[in-house]
Chain A
């Protein structure tokens, strides 16, 4: 059986006690555009991101982020729009989050009760807000940003959570607003 370098590295990571997102990337380095070449996420990674997104924006009277395929969206955005430094920050941050959550809660994030996940992410966010200019841990802000962007610009987010009016046809400059009325999607 041959083992390519990716599998080799993954097996090392498994031996070290976990899978590692973006394993191929570390071996191949950066493209000229300063992105990590061959950065990839497997279905487990996407499932993890789905749960993270759904913790940040859960189902209420409207669907949550997971229903919009937020994990796949985040992967696409990180691959296409992040530069190499931010890609590394994202991947390393996720790996650390996964590991630290397990250490703290004694179980994997995926499958943990919703309250435990929410409390953990809120704690990370408090840490981020308190870090001031350090903006650390950056990954929690990236997750929030991508989840909010992906959710509210999705068809579910725009048309169910928000009020999507493609062609208003008129402009009313000043109308009454009642608390609870939805904001416009665009």
Chain B
């Protein structure tokens, strides 16, 4: 029996895969979107989205059973009894930590688009030119002007709220009205602007939370329960945004429980002819054919598929002749900063739960500033009044403590730094010789660490935070460093980077695999450097750009 054939196969249904499916189906291609995990239906499957606190079994605290079952998730805030189904089952999908590595994976339709932090920032030429100017790794094959129209395109579709600040390090986009700062943040921002004479900026975050309605999406209701799925389509997810658009074309077939083992590669035509899939429920092996394939399986899983492909031609897999497949693992290092308290403002409060904080764009190693490390960092944070969880040690039990806790406490603010990690060739993923997953596929071995550049940067990340809080008028300032393990930023990037030369990169400037021009990799795997800025918006823009290019090439019969 002949394999089912499509015009295009998209592997993965998260932020990048959803965009690939939307763009390709809207351009008339018959698309098969493969998702390794179960389906999650918009709204219907957001089972805990409106659960009141008193129905949350352990009120948000981790049980010992959950900690035992999730040795990886337990390392951070992401272990949450309300959305545990949306993280990979760690027993079924093991990985090996040659060096400590935290890998938070979303294995279901929508992937981590359901769970993401929604911060949506444009990269700038300071990011795209950094490698070339500093002689780090290889040059990006694109510049801001190549991607800027695609940023606009995706921002208009997904909806990003934010303020236009005219900053070169954080270019403005097509924004919906910004979510406002509260009074403490606004006064702090004014003091920062005055003190640093504009060299540092506190601006409101730019989340993919919509402040105006979009088709089928009433918009943000200020519940700040985004990671449980939003019944109002308040934030961008595959389910709320790209999937309905792709389905509306009538050109999409979505197949959950479809784990792609490898691409089927024809060495004569130097193209992929399809994919080999293992059904996640039946273990049956199935092949599907297509003219083009988009790998959007999340950075390391897209690379793992390449590493299993065409091993008869290249033992290390498709793209390995560059010597860079599986190399240059990146993330954002963070979990440090400062916090302080603000006196006064006792007669001020707010209404609603704003699902974003402030953003403080990079100010190090730009505009004449020069440090003993390369690149820089940004901050996320915010001010609020403390609630009933605060410590009121000075009060006696009984009515005094109860009365105090039923009223808001003092104002405080914390900011957390997110720093750039350089692309180090020796930071790698590879296959384990011994460990396999539930479906018999080789587990990945993680071998990545931050180095001197990042360690030096972390000193500034903490002390600059404290300094700014002091300038902004905060008291009792405490620096903190909660420690970072690689991967915890949940911004894993690299391992199949874009470049200008097939000898040193896996993908070209259009996200095509050099050695298989009908294969496109548009998720985090493609990144040539990490920036300090959240990457998801860039994946979306690169995906839309690559999809337009792919269809153009198909029409010209070049693929």
Which A residues are within 8 Å of any B CB, using their own CB?
32-35, 55-58, 60, 62, 76-77, 80-83, 118, 121-122, 125, 129, 144, 148-150, 152-155, 158, 161-162, 164-186
Contact B350 A173 (CB under 8 A): yes
Say if the beta carbon of B181 comes within 8 Å of chain A: yes
Say if the beta carbon of B387 comes within 8 Å of chain A: yes
Contact A177 B348 (CB under 8 A): yes
The stretch of B316-324, B404-412, B522-530 that contacts the partner chain: B404-412
Q: A55-B398, A164-B52 are in contact. Are A174 and B223 (CB under 8 A)?
A: no
CA distance A181 to B387 in the complex (A): 13
Contact B182 A173 (CB under 8 A): yes
Contact A81 B397 (CB under 8 A): no
Say if the beta carbon of B402 comes within 8 Å of chain A: yes
12 other A-B residue contacts (CB within 8 Å) besides A80-B65, A161-B402, A175-B348: A35-B64, A58-B398, A154-B54, A166-B50, A167-B223, A168-B223, A170-B352, A171-B351, A172-B350, A173-B181, A174-B186, A183-B406
Q: Output the least CB separation between A112 and chain B (Å).
A: 14
CA distance A171 to B62 in the complex (A): 30
CA distance A32 to B56 in the complex (A): 26
Contact A175 B351 (CB under 8 A): yes
Say if the beta carbon of B2 comes within 8 Å of chain A: no
* Residue in B53, B346, B393, B403 with the greatest tally of chain A CB atoms within 10 Å: B53
Q: A153-B56, A168-B353, A183-B408 are in contact. Are A58 and B402 (CB under 8 A)?
A: yes
Contact B64 A81 (CB under 8 A): yes
Contact B349 A176 (CB under 8 A): yes
* Residue in A33, A82, A171 with the greatest tally of chain B CB atoms within 10 Å: A171
Q: Output the least CB separation between A177 and chain B (Å).
A: 4
Say if the beta carbon of B314 comes within 8 Å of chain A: no
Contact B388 A60 (CB under 8 A): no
**Please, which residues of chain B bring their CB within 8 A of the CB of A60?**
399, 402-403
Say if the beta carbon of B38 comes within 8 Å of chain A: no
**Please, which residues of chain A bring their CB within 8 A of the CB of B50?**
166
**Please, which residues of chain A bring their CB within 8 A of the CB of B405?**
148, 152, 183
Contact A125 B351 (CB under 8 A): no
Contact B58 A58 (CB under 8 A): no
Q: Classify the secondary structure of A's interface with B.
A: loop
**Please, which residues of chain A bring their CB within 8 A of the CB of B65?**
33, 80
**Please, which residues of chain B bring their CB within 8 A of the CB of A121?**
397
**Please, which residues of chain B bring their CB within 8 A of the CB of A170?**
222, 351-352
What are 21 A-B interface contacts by the 8 Å CB criterion? A33-B67, A56-B397, A57-B402, A76-B58, A80-B65, A118-B396, A149-B61, A154-B53, A162-B406, A165-B351, A168-B352, A169-B352, A171-B179, A171-B222, A173-B182, A174-B180, A174-B348, A177-B347, A177-B408, A184-B387, A186-B53
Q: A56-B401, A155-B52, A166-B223 are in contact. Are A171 and B408 (CB under 8 A)?
A: no
**Please, which residues of chain A bring their CB within 8 A of the CB of B167?**
none
Contact B388 A80 (CB under 8 A): no
Contact A174 B182 (CB under 8 A): yes
Say if the beta carbon of B459 comes within 8 Å of chain A: no
Question: Can you name the residue of chain A whose Cβ is closest to the Cβ of B65?
Answer: A33
CA distance A169 to B234 in the complex (A): 11
Contact A58 B52 (CB under 8 A): no
Q: A80-B58, A175-B350, A183-B388 are in contact. Are A169 and B53 (CB under 8 A)?
A: no
Q: Output the least CB separation between A70 and chain B (Å).
A: 12
Contact B398 A56 (CB under 8 A): yes
Contact B58 A77 (CB under 8 A): yes
**Please, which residues of chain A bring their CB within 8 A of the CB of B407?**
179-183
- Across the A-B interface, the 5 shortest Cβ-Cβ residue pairs: A168-B352, A171-B352, A177-B349, A172-B351, A173-B180
Partner of A185, one of B53, B350, B354, B385: B53
Say if the beta carbon of B63 comes within 8 Å of chain A: yes
CA distance A155 to B407 in the complex (A): 17
CA distance A82 to B67 in the complex (A): 11
CA distance A178 to B405 in the complex (A): 15
Q: Output the least CB separation between B510 and chain A (Å).
A: 41
CA distance A34 to B396 in the complex (A): 34
**Please, which residues of chain A bring their CB within 8 A of the CB of B393?**
129
CA distance A56 to B53 in the complex (A): 21
**Please, which residues of chain B bring their CB within 8 A of the CB of A169?**
221-222, 352
Q: Output the least CB separation between B431 and chain A (Å).
A: 30
* Residue in B50, B221, B349, B409 with the greatest tally of chain A CB atoms within 10 Å: B349
Contact A176 B406 (CB under 8 A): no
CA distance A33 to B396 in the complex (A): 36
Partner of B387, one of A118, A154, A183: A183
**Please, which residues of chain B bring their CB within 8 A of the CB of A175?**
348-351
CA distance A155 to B351 in the complex (A): 20
Contact B52 A144 (CB under 8 A): no
CA distance A180 to B406 in the complex (A): 8
Question: Can you name the residue of chain A whose Cβ is closest to the Cβ of B392?
Answer: A148
Interface residues of B in 208-228 (CB under 8 A from A): 221-223
CA distance A69 to B62 in the complex (A): 21
Q: Output the least CB separation between B409 and chain A (Å).
A: 8
Partner of B397, one of A144, A152, A158, A165: A144
